[in-house]
Structures are given as C-alpha cells and as structure tokens.
Structure 1
C-alpha cells in the first residue's frame, strides 16, 4: 500500500519553496502546506483521533481544506469531505455515517478549528490503513450512500494522471470542484503530487466572463470540469478573447459531445480535450480518451482502460458482448474502493464474472455501452433510475423519497429530462399545488441543489397500468411535454419596457418559461426553476441587457426577483464610478468579507451557493 500522504509528503520535500496553493486570500508554499498539515495532525492526535476513525472536514475550496485533508491522513484517520454549502440536514446525515471522531472546520479559511464530535467511538469498519476517505453518492433508499475509498487506488490514479499528461512544476491547475465529491481528490491533488500550483478562484469569478478572466489572468494550464459547465461558459463567452495558456481540459461526469468540443477549442485553441470515465466505486476514472483534433460526430467515447484495469460489456447472462453489441459495462479496477459503509461494516458492491476461464471481481456500473471496432468504449445511457446532472450522481428514488415525505404529497413520479445545458429533474405529483413553496423549502433542507426538481407538474391522479403500478411511460411524456410547453412560453428579452419587465423577461428566458415573476415578486430564482448553473446564464444576460458589470455572487445575495430588481435600480442611481458598467470597480478589499458573509447567510436560509461542479 502507498498512502496518499506519503506521496504528498515527498512532493512537499522536493518542491519545498514552490507555490502549492494560490488564492486571493493567501499564497502557500509546499513547505508551509506540510507544516500546517503536521499541526492539524498533532491537534487531531491530541483529540484521540487515529486509525479506525474518520474526520469530517467542512469548508469550501481553500488551502485550509487541503491542509486538513493531509493532516487527517497523517494522523492515521480517513477523510470525510463535506461542502459547507450543503443543507444542514444532509451535512448531519453524512457526519452520522461511520466513526467520525472529530470535525475540522475550515469555513473561516485560512483558520482551521478542530473539535471532537460528541458520542463518536472508533469502530472496526475503517481500521484498514488503506481506508483513505468516505465519499457520498445519491442513494436509492433516500439517504446518501457512503463509499470507502482506497489510499492505493487514489495514489495510483494521481501518479498515472501526472505521468500520462506530463504534469509538473510549470503547470497551474484551476481548482473548480466543490467538496463532497470524490472528484475533488483528483482536482486538488493531481497538481500537488506533481509540484504544480493549484489556483483557487474566489466567488467573484464564478460567472462565465469572470471564469475566462481567471483562467487567462492566472495563466491556467489545466482544469477539470463537467460538460454542462463548459456549455454555459462557451454559450456566454461570445466575442471573448482566446485563452492560450490552457493545454489540458479533463471532462467527466456527463456525456461529452463533439459540438461542445469544437466550441471549447475556439476559446482554448491550444487545449487537448480529455474525456474521463469511472464511478466512485472503482476509485475515480478508469477510462480516458484523448479527443482528436477532428472529433467523431456526437457523444465522444470514453476510450480505453487505465493501466492495470479492465472493462467488459456484458449481456443479461453476464457473457461478454461482441464488438458493437450493447450491454452493461462492468469495470475490474486494479485498486477499486473498499465498498459501501453500512451499519458499521463495509459491504462490497462487486460481482464475480467469468472471462476466458478466469474468475474476475468487477463492479456493475449500471451504464449501458458497447465496444467499438477499434476497441474503444462508448457509453449509451443508464439501465436504471440513476442519472448525472451537472456531474452529480443522483438516484431518482432518493428524490422521490424526499418528496413523498412531505405531507402535501400523496404520490410522486420523478424523472430526468434533457434541458438546454444539462438534464433536469421533473416531478409529477398527486398533491396540493398550493403547498409547493413549503415542498421546495422541505427539499432544499435535505437535498443537494442539483437534486431539487426544476419543475413540478400536478395531476388529480397519476395514471396507472392495469396491474396498479404507475404508468411510467405516460408520466415521462407528461414531464417532457411540460418542459416543451415551458420552453415555448419562454420570452426573449426585447430590450423595451420597465426595468421590471425586462428583468422578468430575462428570468423567463433563462428558466424556460413558466409564470412571470411579476406575479410573485418575492419568488427566488431557484424556486422559479433556476439552478446554480443557469444563474450563470442569468448573470450574463442581465449584464448584457442593462449594460452593467457586477460579480455573480450579487445574484446569490439577492436571490428573489424583488431583491434583484432593487439591486439593479440602485445601480442606476449610484454615484459616478459605481453605476452601470463600473459596479465591479468598487469591490475593493471588502469583497472577500462580503462573500463570506453572504455564504453564511445563504447557508442559514437554506439557499444554494455558487457551484462549479
């Protein structure tokens, strides 16, 4: 076994004076990163933390979180990353999974506060030194599913990515992945095991134009992102200057289509596009595909397996399919995860398959695919009710369970439908439509923002089949029809009328139609079917329509229609230097403080926060 902290420790020694993490808050060298991590490890050991324990690390992208992660590993414990923006109920559910002995609070980074978690006792489930982290995916039972990751698997992947793509001290990686996803580990640690610099954008750089400015200004050479984010950026970047420094873009989490690849290369002409694929259960990506200069039409393949791993397309009898035949993809990773953490024990999700007389342990991904004639693997969709939205793996049954727990709902059907930039969740309900605001609040306290339905459709009764089960085909068409109708009602801002009329038209255009916010001016953008992804589009269109410039975080701070309207009207009456076109110039040194205050306010109110995937 090679622990991840061992290779990070070697990197800290080798590149001691180089910059490890760079942000608006601070610049941290490799030696400083190691010293801070050692302090965290010492503090955790003083709390009795060691092998068999987990440490919950709560915060946002920062050097403090990385120090807490490395320090936790140095103490002998496993890491449990928890994004501070998650609903409080979900955070507590995650912390209650497994032996979380202590919590490292990094919400006020660069400060780290370590404290014991009352009542936590060590257990046998995490006593293997190879247990590196506990990551969560959506669960079909209605609660997040905990997966125990492997030190050996993670360190192997980090070394592979670094060597395969020549990552080194000259590289500058953009840190875009939020906590609570296992993808965070490759996003943050691949550069750090390689002597590269991890560059952390602040909240002022979450809009499309600001993101491109960040990549250009920081001379970013590589980044990880989901295709839906790439679509939003390129859609809003019309006329932007190219960013020549970026040489690698690692896409994962969703289908990557050729149209996005071509648009991406318009803005990043020197960039190699790489398509990664692999579920959390197999330890990060297990397939990669270098997209050629002239990509094949449509969805790109995920290519070939990483060294030491194998994948198979199997039919319903678990026999290997011939090239071109469709079946379920099974992955036999060289270093997979240890399995699901359930009731104090680890349950392996792997199955035995027979290939050429050899018995192999593999993970059934639930993805349908086929092997092309050239040997590359192609993904064709899901065989179950699991979907990925903005890179987030979602069990629709978990969403349905949360909906049906609300007293206003008698019965619910949930499905995913394609919308403009990504899939969205649509709920068809038998229940009280007038209770939708309370239902949305209920879901916002329990689910990640990507899991909350974009639309609710109310029927007097859900259609049933003769056997009494709901008619899934009919209900899926109801959901799709609702989105089509909503799209037809979407207005394009005409550039005329009052400020309220113009802003309302933009809202309807971005959210895909629906009722005008003029009818309920206190409605928030997120309760009007907006998401943390489409608010980036809203930001770009508001700035273009009204000729103003302001940070995206202002729309999160002013989430309701009335608040955004007041914000715009105030901008038109600001003194010189703060009016339209100049709003960003007054941010000054207080901007970071306002952002942190806004984060805490949004968390306390259960509102979504800016999310890059």
Structure 2
C-alpha cells in the first residue's frame, strides 16, 4: 500500500488484475478502474464458506503469486511462481524441525514472506504475525519470542548486522535464525552466537526467481564460524552449478556464474518472454530442464560449499532488496530538467546507501528529485543522496567513469537545503552525535536537518533509537 500510485497502477495493468481484495484502511490506494472487495464488508459471507477447497480443474502448476522485482530496463519484472514452487520450498527437510513457529514480519511483496507463511503452515505449525504498524526491533523480537514460543525467524542481512552490533542476545529463545540477502559478516555471526550459544545460525541465499531460498550454510552450536561465510549448498530438489560464459562447468576454486535449477524454479517473468528466455536458459547437460542465470559471480570451495564473489552485472542489494540502478537512472532521466544520471552505492556496512549523480539544467534541487522519484519508485529505491554535477566524467571509450564518481566527496550533499542551526543544549548535542555516528558522516548535524534527507533509512533509524535509549534519551 505504501508504493507510489504510478507503481501500483503499472503492476495492476501488467498483471491484468480483475479484482483486488483489501482492508478498508488501504482500499483507497487501489488504482481507479479495478473492482475492490473491502474485506471488512464481507467477513460474514467469508465465515459461512466451506473450510475445504472445492473441486476445481486447477493444478499445482497454476500461479500462486506474481512478485515484482527491479528491472534494469526501467520496468519492474513480475516473477511468476506456481503452487508447486511454493510447496517445494515449504517442504524442504531443513524446516522439519526448528520451524514449528515462525515470525511473519516481511512485507508480502518481499519473497521472504513465502517462507514465513508457508514453511510453518504446510507442516502443521504456526505463523505469528508482527502486530500491524509495528517494526521488528530487538526488543519486540524478545517479547514476541517469549509470548508466542517463536522458534525461527528470517531477517535481512542489514537487520541482522544491526541486531548483532546493538543487542546480540535478542535472539535468545529462538532455535534457528536465518539471514541473507547480502553478504553476512563473520564478526556479526560471532557476536550473536556468543550471546546465544544454543542458536543455529543459517546464511541463506536465493533470488525471487527460485522461490525465496536456493542454498544455505548452516552453523550448529558446536560448529566454528568461518572467516568468510559461504552460502552453502543447495536445498532439497534444487540443483546449483557454476559455469563459465560458454555454459561449461568450472573447476573448484575458479570463479564462474551461479545457475540454479530443479524444484522451485519460477515459471518466468509474466508477459515478458524475451526476458524469460534470457534469464531461464536450457540446461546444457541434457536433462530437459531449465537453469536460472543468477548474475552472481561465485566459486565452488573444496568442501563443496559455494562462496559469493560479486556480480557479473550492475545489480546491487540494499537492505535485502534487489535494486537495478538502471531503473532508477531511467526514472531520473525522465525528469524534464535532468540531462544525465548515474546511481552508485556508497558508504560501508550498515551505512551503505544509494547516491545519485545528476546532470541537470540548474533548475532542479535534490529535494525536487527525491520527491519526483518518490512518486514513481518504492522508498527503498529512492537514493538518500543527490549530487548535482555539471557533467558526468567519462572514460576514454565514452562510458561513464564510475571510478571517478566514486572518488568524489558526497557526504556534504547528504543534507537538505536550509540554514544550519547547531544543537542548542545537551540533549540535542547527544542526538546530533548519534545521528552523525550512525550515518557515518563527519559533517555536523543541525537541529533542523532531516534524518532521511541526510541518507538515513529504516534500518539506520532503528540504530538511532537503540543508541538513544542507551544514552537515557
């Protein structure tokens, strides 16, 4: 419901929706022209319906959902996932024990929700929903675990790193903690395992196109923590191979691209046969199946686990969300005052953020650009910082010189326009210092500054709250 209206309208049209089911509080955001059934108005009718499925002509190969991911061409891609795909994930043997009660806190538009809902329910377990409007904090995780007997939780790498730094004992009482979406730091894992010695920590990997999870690296309480965490091995009925550009296997230790096949492989991209053909290739080993081309550069380690080395394209991960910088750049260049744009990731660890380098005619401000993108893209895709340039630096062959852009200072641009007002008392000084430390900037913070205009996001805001509580504020 928080997506911009333009984005929602595109998804409704692209998916060919015939009806939308919605709660009354969010029914108003549904684009005009689509019938809406307000759930509160039909509860009595729903309660009178049979609790068993009617006979139908449906099969396990029918669609269960379409989930949209960022697209490099400027158009989001709808990943078409079937009932068989969801079942293949939920019935993996790794969920047979330890996942009897799973915390459901991910947005339904994020593929982790597939695990959170169906892994426990299809095995006779329970899914405990985070209260509406609440954020998952270390404090709420403790409270929910104690109140509901939660046994397992998945959290994005960024949130895991935050909890590991601020409150590593918050996972006490859980049996398993799964984390992934970006590379997981070994020091963060050590902090959590030291505070929760009975906890099983799992580094998990999987694109939306392979129905949430495809591989995992499991660390039992007695296992050491590797210096570099691999993404492990394939889940049940999943096949992973490391290939070169000619789709030939590479030896162990040699870098290649990761391809995934087997159960759980999505049907493809809804209504995008050309993109489906590019990403879902015929298995070159004669099985008659398909392999998904992940774009991740990996190597097979001697023991059989897989280690991620980077990307073979420009895709990045921000707080667990896949982001194609090209989609943001396309949206920016549609602004009438913008003549060119490049988007990079800057900052380290929890302070990583999207920075947009923009060439304009001088009649636009960073605030204008942020508002413009906010009307077209989800919040996680809107850069926190906009750097206005006279021209983009180019390499000798005429391409944008991203190395030169990365060398430019950007922190001074991470601030809204307006007069700087220094902190006026001890409380404001301490809060300003917390903001400065959390954002990883040496630039002074003023009392009228906007946290999100400075490059902050939802994960960093949790860190600010935690540090403020520690200081008694």
> TM-score category by the smaller chain?
0.7 to 0.9
Q: 1:403 and 1:485 mapped to 2: Cα distance?
A: 17
Q: 2:356 and 2:298 mapped to 1: Cα distance?
A: 28
Q: 3-state SS of the aligned residue for 2:359? A: strand
Query: Which residue of 1 is the match for residue 215 of structure 2?
Result: 287
Sort the Cα spacing of 1:134 and 1:243 in 2 relative to 1 into closer, same or farther, 3 A.
Answer: closer
502-511 or 90-99, larger mean C-alpha shift: 502-511
Q: 1:212 and 1:231 mapped to 2: Cα distance?
A: 17
Sort the Cα spacing of 1:422 and 1:328 in 2 relative to 1 into closer, same or farther, 3 A.
Answer: farther
User: How far apart are residue 496 of structure 1 and its match?
Assistant: 9.3
Q: 1:385 and 1:454 mapped to 2: Cα distance?
A: 19
Sort the Cα spacing of 1:244 and 1:212 in 2 relative to 1 into closer, same or farther, 3 A.
Answer: closer
Query: Which residue of 2 is the match for residue 266 of structure 1?
Result: 194
- Answering whether residue 311 of structure 2 is matched by residue 311 of structure 1, we say no
Q: Which of 5, 10, 13 does residue 93 from structure 1 map onto?
A: 10
- The 5-angstrom pairing of residues 302-451 of structure 1 reads 302-342=231-271, 347-348=276-277, 349-355=279-285, 360-421=289-350, 423-431=352-360, 432=362, 435-451=365-381
Query: Which residue of 2 is the match for residue 233 of structure 1?
Result: 163
Q: Which of 87, 90, 115 does residue 155 from structure 1 map onto?
A: 87
Q: 2:347 and 2:382 mapped to 1: Cα distance?
A: 15
Query: Which residue of 2 is the match for residue 301 of structure 1?
Result: 230
Query: Which residue of 2 is the match for residue 143 of structure 1?
Result: 75
Q: 3-state SS of the aligned residue for 2:446? A: helix
Q: 2:358 and 2:157 mapped to 1: Cα distance?
A: 30
Gaps of at least 5 residues in structure 2 are: 36-57, 415-422
Query: Which residue of 2 is the match for residue 118 of structure 1?
Result: 33
Q: Which of 189, 194, 208 does residue 118 from structure 2 map onto?
A: 189
User: How far apart are residue 353 of structure 1 and its match?
Assistant: 4.2
Question: So what's the TM-score if we normalise by structure 1?
Answer: 0.65
Q: Contact 2:141 / 2:171 at 8 angstroms: preserved in 1?
A: no
Query: Which residue of 1 is the match for residue 182 of structure 2?
Result: 254
Q: 2:301 and 2:153 mapped to 1: Cα distance?
A: 28
Query: Which residue of 2 is the match for residue 586 of structure 1?
Result: none
Q: 2:395 and 2:171 mapped to 1: Cα distance?
A: 55
- Answering whether residue 404 of structure 2 is matched by residue 474 of structure 1, we say yes
Q: Which of 192, 207, 211 does residue 141 from structure 2 map onto?
A: 211
Q: 3-state SS of the aligned residue for 2:345? A: strand
Query: Which residue of 2 is the match for residue 16 of structure 1?
Result: none
Q: Which of 441, 450, 473 does residue 524 from structure 1 map onto?
A: 450
Q: 1:242 and 1:463 mapped to 2: Cα distance?
A: 46
User: How far apart are residue 291 of structure 1 and its match?
Assistant: 2.2
Q: Contact 1:291 / 1:300 at 8 angstroms: preserved in 2?
A: no
- The 5-angstrom pairing of residues 479-498 of structure 1 reads 481-482=409-410, 497-498=425-426
Query: Which residue of 2 is the match for residue 54 of structure 1?
Result: none
CA offsets, 1:253-302, max 9 Å, x none?
Answer: 11122212111223433211112222111222121221244445333112
User: How far apart are residue 328 of structure 1 and its match?
Assistant: 0.7
Sort the Cα spacing of 1:309 and 1:129 in 2 relative to 1 into closer, same or farther, 3 A.
Answer: closer
Q: 1:339 and 1:204 mapped to 2: Cα distance?
A: 34
Q: Contact 1:387 / 1:393 at 8 angstroms: preserved in 2?
A: yes
User: How far apart are residue 230 of structure 1 and its match?
Assistant: 0.9
Query: Which residue of 2 is the match for residue 536 of structure 1?
Result: 462
452-461 or 226-235, larger mean C-alpha shift: 452-461
Q: Contact 2:209 / 2:265 at 8 angstroms: preserved in 1?
A: yes
User: How far apart are residue 425 of structure 1 and its match?
Assistant: 1.4
Q: 1:343 and 1:335 mapped to 2: Cα distance?
A: 19
Query: Which residue of 2 is the match for residue 509 of structure 1?
Result: 437
Q: Contact 1:208 / 1:536 at 8 angstroms: preserved in 2?
A: no
Q: 3-state SS of the aligned residue for 1:311? A: strand
Q: 1:204 and 1:306 mapped to 2: Cα distance?
A: 32
Q: Contact 1:98 / 1:344 at 8 angstroms: preserved in 2?
A: no
Query: Which residue of 2 is the match for residue 20 of structure 1?
Result: none
439-448 or 465-474, larger mean C-alpha shift: 465-474
User: How far apart are residue 86 of structure 1 and its match?
Assistant: 2.2
User: How far apart are residue 386 of structure 1 and its match?
Assistant: 0.6
342-351 or 144-153, larger mean C-alpha shift: 342-351
Q: Contact 2:161 / 2:188 at 8 angstroms: preserved in 1?
A: yes
- The 5-angstrom pairing of residues 61-100 of structure 1 reads 84-100=1-17
Query: Which residue of 1 is the match for residue 64 of structure 2?
Result: 132
Question: So what's the TM-score if we normalise by structure 2?
Answer: 0.84
Sort the Cα spacing of 1:421 and 1:518 in 2 relative to 1 into closer, same or farther, 3 A.
Answer: closer
Query: Which residue of 1 is the match for residue 42 of structure 2?
Result: none
How many equivalent pairs are there?
440
User: How far apart are residue 365 of structure 1 and its match?
Assistant: 0.5
Query: Which residue of 2 is the match for residue 500 of structure 1?
Result: 428
Query: Which residue of 2 is the match for residue 164 of structure 1?
Result: 94
Q: 2:262 and 2:33 mapped to 1: Cα distance?
A: 37
CA offsets, 1:591-612, max 9 Å, x none?
Answer: xxxxxxxxxxxxxxxxxxxxxx
Q: 1:270 and 1:107 mapped to 2: Cα distance?
A: 43
Choose between structure 1 and 2: higher helix proportion: 1
Q: 3-state SS of the aligned residue for 1:464? A: coil
Q: 2:366 and 2:304 mapped to 1: Cα distance?
A: 49
